[in-house]
Amino acid sequence: MSKIKVAVLFGGISNEHDISLISATNIISAIPSDKYEVIPIGITKKGRWLFYPGDISLISSGNWESHPDCVPAVILPDPMYKGIMKITEGSCTTTKIDVVFPALHGQNGEDGAIQGLLKLSGIPYVGCDIISSANCMDKAVAHTILEAGGIKMAKWKCVTVADLSKLDDVCDEIAGELDYPLFVKPANSGSSVGVNKASSFEELKNAIKLAFSHDKKVIVEEFIKGHEVECAVFGKDTPFASEVGEISSCNEFYDYEAKYILGTSGLTIPANIPADASRKIRETAVKAFKLMGCSGLSRVDFFLTDDGTVYLNEINTLPGFTQISMYPKLMENMGISQPELLDKLITLSLEG
């Protein structure tokens, strides 16, 4: 019996390129080799697509790009081929692909862009579809849908590029409706890239300007003091939520540095919270997953305040798969190893 061909996409032009390389390294290493043939395709920061036949350990450092056997390779949008085309001097060859695992984070990876290409190609892929990916990625859209569905979230305001010409007035308006400190976030970014805390008018202005270097839309949220907890959701028609995990950040808040550079933040599974709060968080995670039309996997992030109030923070449709990432850790806590988890995700995508 021939092995199932899985194309793993990694890298990308988003500001989460480096995290994708680490996630892909773990994913490729953990995919059961007795059942699957992995075809690694890397996307450089400039957007070049390359078939990578080299040592998997070179991916996370970025050294994969200089491998002498890399050749241009693209996923064909024509569903007649259902595969990739490798481009060499004087010739092009096509290889049929059974399924794609887009180990991509951030813009063009989990915002519906790559999902659109894969939809056109007719190749099954792991994770959420086009519209759920796009809606979850855009924090303003996600706020609007989830709040309309009765899910409690932090109070927020949206700032657009057009507001930059009157930023002082916009900041005055925000400060009049939301209390300091405030969190400023690019609307379409993950891994806490471009996120900053503002405790004054000037800090708010500067944080908004910085966030605009990552996106064309920015959201400002009120500060919620409480436990930072996360829940893994898996499935399609009848999704289930994992136990709740808690983050102990080594920084003031769980920013990019705390997640991926310092490496000293702690994960506690299960979270040290009351049983009824854990149950409510898990129920809310599944409800949000369904409201957004998600499928496959998502990590849902929450705040739990001292009075027991649950606030949904955000939904990540392609959560990190690094060695310290919460999603695989939560699933391992349920007795599902990474190889088994990846097998289940690929199988679910093949079922359509």
Contact 260, 326 (CB under 8 A): no
pLDDT at 194: 81
Write down the mean pLDDT value for the chain: 93
Report in angstroms the alpha-carbon separations of 143 from 135, 161, 221, 339: 9, 19, 11, 34
- Condensed to tens digits (0 to 9), the pLDDT of residues 234-247 reads 999 999 999 999 98
pLDDT at 259: 52
- Strand-by-strand arrangement of the 49-51 sheet: 91-96, 83-88, 71-75, 49-51, 36-43, 4-11, 99-102
pTM of this structure: 0.91
Tell me the residue type at 41.
Answer: I
Please list the ranges in the chain whose pLDDT falls under 70. Answer: 190-191, 249-265
Interacting residues of 4 by C-beta distance below 8 A, sequence separation 6+: 35, 36, 37, 98, 99, 346, 350
* Pairing, β 71-75 against β 49-51: antiparallel
- Condensed to tens digits (0 to 9), the pLDDT of residues 167-205 reads 999 999 999 999 999 999 999 876 577 899 999 999 999
pLDDT at 189: 76
pLDDT at 191: 55
Longest dimension (CA), the chain: 68
pLDDT at 266: 81
pLDDT at 190: 63
pLDDT at 87: 94
Q: Given the structure tokens 């085309």, which residue do they identify?
A: 85
Nearest to 136 by CA among 17, 281, 291, 254: 291
